Amino acid sequence: MKFNATSRGNKGTSASRRLRREGRVPAIVYGGNADPLNIELDHNEIYHSVRKEEFHASILDMQLDGKAAGKVLLRAVQWHPYKQQVLHVDFQRVEKNEPITTKVPLNFINGDISPAVKLASAVITHPLTDIEISCLPADLPPGIEVDLAELEGGAVMHVADVKLPEGVTLVTQSDLVIANAQVRGAGAAAEEEEQEEGGEETPEE
């Protein structure tokens, strides 16, 4: 994926405010062996880009002043507290031989055909929707598929159960839960049964 940027000379709060009034977004590119680079972006273009999941988990081609200016990774987006407005964006330079650490989304599939849903009428929840990984830029996946086809009712899946692509190592804690197949009503039924057993009266002699 690529995005367009323009060199930015003026820095500071007042200059940034002026840019935003003109429909522009101040941004910075850092990392690598070069000095930080101040750039500006078109608000409409970057607004729609950062709302795409793949823009956050892809190596991006930066076009600066109409020319190719290297590859970067999106690192941070600052939003207005209540307006749909991007205030500032951070990018990190990417070197092809240097590993990067970033988050990638988990794409859950086949939950609707799993035993948990088909046989136990379970509700599958996803406490974690992305994980942090480390890899070379060329090995960065746009997302990682998690197959729920064998998930049983009442079972859970952990980060450790995720099959990572070749060249990718895990950074996120491996024992965190990513999927939970909760059987509807099971907890309430068990609680009711316990109450009934505990509430039995002893016959009077």
Provide the percentage of residues in the chain whose pLDDT is more than 90. Answer: 78
pLDDT score, position 188: 46
* 195 pLDDT higher than 90: no
- Per-residue pLDDT band for 93 (boundaries 50, 70, 90) equals very high
115, 151 Cβ separation under 8 angstroms: yes
Phi, psi of 85 (to 5 degrees): -135, 130
pLDDT at position 196 is 54
Res 100 pLDDT > 70:
yes
**Rounded distance between C-alpha atoms, residue 110 and residue 87, angstroms:** 38
Nearest partner of 50 among 88, 106, 98, judged by Cα: 88
Residue 85: per-residue pLDDT:
95
Q: What percent of the chain has pLDDT over 70?
A: 90
Whole-number average pLDDT of the chain: 89
Is the Cβ–Cβ distance between 52 and 46 less than 8 Å? no
pLDDT at position 141, please? Answer: 92
Over 90: is that where the pLDDT of 11 sits?
A: no
**With 90 as the cut, is the pLDDT of residue 189 above it?**
no
- Coil, strand or helix at 164: coil
pLDDT band of 33, cuts 50, 70, 90: confident
Q: In the predicted model, what is the mean pLDDT of residues 52-72?
A: 92
pLDDT of residue 154: 93
Span 128-178, pLDDT tens digits: 999 999 999 999 998 999 999 999 999 999 999 999 999 999 999 999 999
What's the confidence (pLDDT) of residue 9? 78
> CA 190, CA 64: separation in Å to the nearest integer?
62
pLDDT of residue 205: 43
DSSP state letters, 42-89? EHHHHHHHHTSHHHHSSPEEEEETTEEEEEEEEEEEEE-SSSS-EEEE
Structure tokens at 133: 């990984």
Residue-level pLDDT at 43 = 97
Query: Would the pLDDT of 204 be above 80?
Result: no
pTM for the predicted model, two decimal places? 0.78
Give residue for tokens 């406490």: 127
CA dist list (Å): 23 to 13, 97, 168: 16, 36, 39
Over residues 169-194, mean pLDDT: 78
